[in-house]
Amino acid sequence: MIRYIEGTVASISNSGAVILVGGLGYHVHTTKKTALLPNDAVSLNTYLAVRETALDLYGFVNPLELDCFELLLTIPKIGPKSALQILDQADVTLLLEAINLEDPAHLTKLSGISKKTAEKIVTELKGKVDLLSHASNSVAPEANTDIYNDAFDTLLTLGYNPINIRRVLESLDQTTTTSILVRQALQQLS
């Protein structure tokens, strides 16, 4: 099984990149958030999906992303492509937070994942996140989630993209009030 790949990015496509390793080019499916540029040196933690008609390689910069990807694969009817799409919509911290809070609405609201899929993720994985060796260290949010959620709802009502809202809010100090958080986010979103 190919578990790690290190090489140079030969080309990029919508579904991933070709990584050149010792004269061989490996097509590796990555999330759209994985910032790869041609000729960049890259090292990825990988998962090899073996099917009857194909061998597909999925790559992640962060080992925790790979762990979460593999955890998503334990859910019935979620295959590698679906798991990768879920990680495209929601980052690992958001997924683990929603699972730990046992709150599919949190996941739906913040990532754009459908209600049915969010419920399935939370229900199937609520007892399994302990299996992730680093999960407990990376999920403990310092911020007040009520302020975050209120700010998120306000910005969503104003018509901003949920992914952009989440990205901006996560970069701001969330130990403040909702109105200050919204004001700061609006400055970055405009």
Residue ranges of domains in the chain: 4-61, 64-138, 145-189
* pLDDT tens digit sequence for 44-100: 999 999 989 989 999 998 888 998 999 999 999 899 999 999 998 888 888 888 888
| Homologous superfamily of the 64-138 domain (CATH) | 5' to 3' exonuclease, C-terminal subdomain (1.10.150.20)
Rounded to whole angstroms, the Cα distance separating 96 from 115 reads 16
CATH of the structural domain 4-61, one choice from 3.30.230.10, 1.20.1250.20, 2.40.50.140, 2.30.40.10:
2.40.50.140
pLDDT per residue as tens digits for the range 8-53: 999 999 889 999 999 999 999 999 888 889 999 999 999 999 989 9
Burial tier of 46 (Cβ tally within 10 Å: 0-12, 13-18, 19+): buried
Decide yes or no: CATH 1.10.10 for domain 145-189.
Answer: no
User: Could you give the CA distance from residue 162 to residue 129 in angstroms, rounded to a whole number?
Assistant: 25
Is 101 exposed, middle or buried (CB count within 10 Å of its CB: 0-12, 13-18, 19+)? middle
pTM: 0.68
Residue 20 confidence (pLDDT): 96
The residue length of the chain stands at 190
Q: Return the number of other C-beta atoms located less than 10 Å from residue 143's C-beta.
A: 15
- The secondary structure of 35-51, three-state, reads CCCCCCEEEEEEEEEEC
